[in-house]
Homo-oligomer: A and B are copies of this chain.
Amino acid sequence: KKQTPLDLEHLATQIRAGSRLELSRGITLVESSNLEHRAQAQQLLQELLPDTGKSIRIGITGVPGAGKSSFIEAFGTMLAKMGKKVAVLAIDPSSSLSGGSILGDKTRMEELVKQPNAFVRPSPTAGTLGGVHKKTRETMLLCEAAGYDVILIETVGVGQSETYVRGMVDFFLLLVLTGAGDELQGMKKGIMELADTIIVHKADGDNARFAKRTMQEYKQILHFLQPATPGWITRALTVSSLEKKGLDNVWDTINEFVQTGKDNNVFDQRRNEQTRDWFRTMITDHLIDTFYGDPQNKQQVSNLEAKILNGELTVSQGVESLFHDKV
């Protein structure tokens, strides 16, 4: 037991030195729900904190079938070949059911995985969305300490996952397909207003023409919506991951975004706000979890809820009886 601190220091050194094996080990520690591991993970993170924060954090979401994996594969590979160190993380709240179909299917990122500069980590296959959220942030910090320049965080569009990811990244990409009208019908509320850039994907071959038109349509819609980032007008671009067209354009856009944000101070301000929000949210989550973690409270809430929906009690009476009965 005494040797644990030594191991952690070694682990931290190895992660800083860029060992992908040790980085994976560190992430496993961070993801563990074991109490001792959690304490160790916190020590490790604190040790590595001074080395974090230097990457560009990019969130990626998309409509179903938009080809997020193939985009990440092509975009990540391009960056890796440019000499960038690229880490790919995925948030997949459904993975506890599906067994991690998003990135678990490694064949979808075959080329990227082969790059010595790339690190691909599927989401944990268990845990609540809140849990995944927390771990992904900390996993991101570990990757930064390991020297990754670009962190790509993929989200499947379940629940509040886009909002969570938006809350931890600098830049948010939304992948869509041609035929905006039809596509958008299935798009989540407010999703376009989370994006810093919308990519009309699969602009391959004959489809490129339609993709350009769709891009124009999105530009018009964007004109009517609030931009996600102050001082940045949300862009619309076309990309073919198949033909590797437009990927450099995405990278240029991201660099321009970062430069603009650093010039007008929005970049650092947002990061501070994100950290503050993260802390506040974790406090609230803790309060809620503690409250509902007591089976008596849970039962009482459910009984009162039934009475309220029956019209026997007002909502305020429900709340008062909940908190005053136990004094």
Contact = CB atoms under 8 A, between A and B. Distances in A.
Interface of A: 38, 42, 45-46, 49-50, 52-53, 134, 137-138, 141, 180-181, 184-185, 187-190, 193, 217, 221, 223-226, 272, 275-276, 278-279, 282-284, 286-288, 291, 301, 304-305, 308-309, 311-320, 322-323
A224 B226 contact: no
A321 to B, nearest CB: 10
Nearest to A41: B316
Contact of A276 (B141, B181, B309): B309
A314 B226 contact: no
25 contacts: A38-B316, A42-B314, A42-B316, A45-B316, A46-B314, A49-B312, A52-B311, A137-B315, A141-B314, A180-B224, A184-B225, A187-B224, A189-B193, A189-B226, A221-B224, A275-B309, A276-B309, A278-B315, A279-B305, A279-B315, A283-B301, A283-B322, A286-B323, A287-B287, A287-B291
Given A275-B308, A314-B49, A288 B291 contact: no
A188 B284 CA distance: 26
A226 B275 contact: no
Contacts of A278: 315
B318 A305 contact: no
Nearest to A38: B316
Given A187-B226, A188-B226, A308-B275, A314 B45 contact: yes
B282 A138 contact: no
A167 to B, nearest CB: 12
A226 B190 CA distance: 8
Contacts of A320: 42
Protomer copies: 2
A188 B286 CA distance: 30
A323 B290 CA distance: 11
Contacts of A322: 283, 286
A184 B224 contact: yes
A187 B181 CA distance: 22
B42 A317 contact: yes
A283 B319 CA distance: 6
B42 A282 contact: no
Contact of A308 (B279, B288, B313): B279
Contacts of A286: 319, 322-323
A278 B225 CA distance: 29
A309 B189 contact: no
B314 A50 contact: no
A311 B279 contact: no
Contacts of A180: 224
